[in-house]
Amino acid sequence: MSATGRTLIATFVLGFVLTVGLVAAGTLVVDDGTPEPAELEQSHFEPEHALPDETADGGDITMDSQESSNTILIHTGGAAAGQVAVDPLPIEDSGESPELSTGTMGGADRGVTPLVSTLIENGHEVEFYAGAIEDGPLAQSLDEADAFVAPGSVSFTAQDRQSIDAFTDAGGRFVMTADPGSSGSVAELGGSDGLYTDAGYLYNITENDNNYLSIYAESTGSSELTDGVEEVVLRSASSVGTTDSDAVLETDATLSTTREDGEYDVAAVDGNTALIGDSSFLEPENAQRADNNVLIGNLADFLVTGSAGDADLPGTEPPVEQPPADEPFEEPIDESENIPEMNADESE
C-alpha cells in the first residue's frame, strides 16, 4: 500500500474515533444535566363526589286538623262529561300485566295516592270523578262534597265552571294543580279568583335536584298551605300569576318562553281557592322529597277545613216531572170548536 493510501486510512480512522468520542461526551453531558421529573400526587377516585348532592327525603305525611269526616272530590283527569276524551298514551292496556299498575300506566288516581291515603287515614272520605258521561254533571258530585281537587289538564264545561264558582263562594275548598301546557283550563277555572299560569316551563341549570327541570321552591311567608315548609322539589313547574291573590311559593329559575332569569311564583292562594304550578309533588316517588311531605299534609288540612254547606249549584235542580211512558198522551181539547157558529139572522 502506498504512503498516500495509508495516510487516507489513518485520517478516516482518526475522524471516526473523534466523532464517536464527541457523541459519547455529549451524551454524558446531557445525561448529567437532565432534571428528574417531580413525583405527582395522584388523587384517588372518590365515589361520594362523583354525583351531585342528593336532596334529603322528608318524613311521614301528617295532618294537624281535627275536623270531623269531610268528603273530598278528586278529578282524575280527562274531558268534561259529554266531550270526547283522547288517550295521551297510545299503549294498549290488556289488563293482564301487573306492571300496568305502576308508573304512568297506573292511572291518574295513582298520582294523588299520598294525598288520598293521608285523608283516609285521618277519617275523611275521598270520591273520584272521571268526567265520563256515566258520572253525570259535576254539580251533582260537588253537591255532596266539602272540597274539590282538579289537575290543570282536565276540561270543564261552562256549567261546570259556574258550579265550581258557586261551590267556592259557599265555602267549599278548591285546589288546582297546573303543569306546563295546561294554562287553558287553569285560566278558565282561576280567572274569577285572579289566578293564572304563564306559558312555558321553569328550569334551573345550576341549582336543581339532579335535573334542570327539577327545581327548588321556597315559602314566601306565612300561609296555612306552606306552614313549616322550607324547600320543596317540583319536577315540572309552571309560573303562577296573580292579580289580587297571595303567592305562597317562589323559585329562582329561568322561564322557557322568555329565557329570563328571576324569581317566579309557583303557588298562590285566594280565599277558598289554591293554585299550585306543579302536579308531580303529589306522586308517590316525589311525596317525600325535601319538604314535599309537609306541603301535602298542609294541602290535606286546607281541603278539610272548608265546607260548601247548602250551596245552590247550577245543574242540581230537580228535573221537570214527565208523564209516565205507559200513559197515552191526550191533546187538550179546544172548547172553542164546540161553540156553534151564529148566522146573521140569529144574531138579530
Which grid cell is 72? 273530598
Radius of gyration of the chain (CA): 39
pLDDT at 5 over 80: no
pLDDT at 103 over 50: no
Find out whether 175 and 119 touch, Cβ atoms under 8 Å: no
Q: Quick one: average pLDDT of 168-192?
A: 79
Of 118, 71, 109, nearest in space to 294 by CA: 118
Of 154, 143, 224, 239, nearest in space to 189 by CA: 154
Q: Quick one: average pLDDT of 75-80?
A: 66
Give a yes or no: residue 330 inside a domain.
no
Give a yes or no: residue 328 inside a domain.
no
Find out whether 267 and 279 touch, Cβ atoms under 8 Å: no
The β-bridge partners of 322 are none
Give a yes or no: residue 75 inside a domain.
yes
Which grid cell is 340? 156553534
Number of structural domains, the chain? 1
pLDDT of residue 76: 85
Distance of CA 234 to the CA centre of its chain: 7
pLDDT of residue 141: 92
pLDDT at 328 over 80: no
Domain of 161: which CATH number? 3.40.50.880
- Pairwise pLDDT comparison (60 vs 80), residue with the higher score: 60
Give a yes or no: residue 29 inside a domain.
no
Give a yes or no: residue 59 inside a domain.
no
Give a yes or no: residue 272 inside a domain.
yes
Give a yes or no: residue 245 inside a domain.
yes
Average predicted confidence (pLDDT) for the chain: 76
Which grid cell is 71? 268528603
Give a yes or no: residue 340 inside a domain.
no
Give residue-wise pLDDT tens across range 303-322: 999 877 766 776 665 554 55
> Residue 220 to residues 266, 302, 343: CA-CA distances in angstroms?
10, 17, 92
Q: Position 134: which residue type?
A: E
Find out whether 179 and 236 touch, Cβ atoms under 8 Å: yes
Which grid cell is 304? 278539610
The span from the first CA to the last CA of the chain, in angstroms, equals: 186
For residue 263, the enclosing domain spans 71-84+106-304
